[in-house]
């Protein structure tokens, strides 16, 4: 086994039954572009799984800890714990940059923005790998140790609402319409792809936004829509 993989296992306190899962979680798509003979897949499938496991564990925890909180506040609290910035904190705590397999261009910081998202995505992939290798309890233990412990510092104020939540709330209140997000275009190489999404009220395109993932492009679109409608002062637009 590679020394760095063993080192990360020791740091995590986890001995993987299948070390290839950990290696996959650390393999960025860009790395495969420079290493055609690399046998490990990139980490995007594990990222998808980890995102779902993370959301489930955090949601159940919040429901149990705050039985009197309404859905809107719980959603905002969950968002504060699982957004890209929060996951980047975990990546920095684990020094994941040291273990990530990325292309030379990516590692040199093609752009700091995309490199940050590569690290936060790797945290989700790591959760997915732990879930497959150690089961739900193993993933839950990791999330409790590295994410739920940050609840107090990341808890939003009572008036906090993320951009998408606020735009949906105001749209339903004022127009009786639920916003719909649509992908308008995407461009760039696979390892540095960009997306533009639009947010619609019925057939009206209210605003669009760009980002390195569809999710972040939707958040940007919601933020721009809040500005377009004059509702921005009620949101942190995060």
| DSSP-assigned letters across all residues of the chain | --HHHHHHHHHHT---SSHHHHHHHTB-HHHHHH-TT--SPPTHHHHHHHHHHHHHHHHHHHHHH-TT--HHHHHHHHHHHHSHHHHHHHHHHHTGGGT-B--HHHHTTS-HHHHHHHHHHHHHHHHHHHHHHHHHHHHHHHHHHHTGGGHHHHPPPTT---HHHHHHHHHHHHTS---EEEEEEEES-GGG-EEEEEEEETTEEEEEEEESSHHHHHHHHHHHHHHHHT-GGG----
Tell whether 83 and 10 lie within a shared domain.
Answer: yes
pLDDT tens string 48-104: 999 999 999 999 999 999 999 888 778 878 888 888 888 989 999 999 999 999 887
Tell whether 189 and 137 lie within a shared domain.
Answer: no
Tell whether 205 and 138 lie within a shared domain.
Answer: no
Q: Which residue, 154, 182, 199, sits at the end of a domain?
A: 154
Structural domains counted in the chain? 2
Sign, Cα dihedral of 38, 118, 184, 48:
positive
Q: Which residue, 154, 182, 201, sits at the end of a domain?
A: 154
Q: What is the percentage of the chain residues whose pLDDT exceeds 90? A: 53
Tell whether 30 and 122 lie within a shared domain.
Answer: yes
Tell whether 142 and 50 lie within a shared domain.
Answer: yes
Looking at residue 52, what is its pLDDT? 95
Tell whether 124 and 184 lie within a shared domain.
Answer: no
pLDDT tens string 120-175: 899 999 999 999 999 999 999 999 999 999 886 565 544 445 788 889 999 999 99
Looking at residue 80, what is its pLDDT? 82
Q: Which residues are catalytic?
A: 51, 124
The domain in which residue 217 lies consists of: 163-234
Tell whether 132 and 172 lie within a shared domain.
Answer: no
- Between residues 238 and 151, which one has the greater pLDDT? 151
Q: Which residue, 154, 181, 211, sits at the end of a domain?
A: 154
Tell whether 168 and 96 lie within a shared domain.
Answer: no
């Amino acid at each position: 086994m590679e020394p760095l993989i063993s080192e990360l296992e020791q740091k995590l306190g986890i001995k993987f039954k299948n070390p290839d899962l950990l290696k996959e979680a650390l393999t960025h798509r860009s790395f495969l572009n420079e290493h055609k003979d690399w046998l490990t897949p990139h980490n995007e499938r594990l990222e998808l799984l980890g995102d779902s496991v993370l959301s489930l564990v955090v949601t159940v925890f919040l429901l149990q800890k705050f039985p009197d909180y309404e859905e809107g506040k719980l959603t905002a609290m969950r968002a504060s714990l699982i957004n890209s910035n929060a996951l980047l904190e975990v990546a920095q705590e684990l020094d994941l940059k040291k273990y990530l397999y990325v292309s030379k261009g990516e590692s040199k910081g093609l752009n700091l923005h995309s490199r940050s998202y590569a690290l936060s995505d790797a945290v989700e992939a790591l959760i997915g790998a732990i879930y497959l290798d150690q089961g739900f309890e193993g993933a839950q233990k990791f999330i409790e140790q590295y994410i739920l412990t940050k609840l107090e510092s990341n808890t939003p104020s009572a008036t906090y609402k993320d951009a998408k939540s606020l735009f949906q709330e105001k749209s339903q209140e004022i127009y009786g319409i639920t916003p719909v997000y649509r992908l308008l275009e995407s461009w760039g190489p696979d390892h540095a792809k960009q997306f533009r999404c639009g947010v619609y009220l019925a057939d009206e395109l209210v605003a669009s936004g760009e980002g390195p993932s569809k999710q972040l492009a939707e958040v940007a679109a919601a933020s721009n829509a809040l500005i377009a409608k004059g509702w921005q002062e009620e949101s942190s637009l995060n």
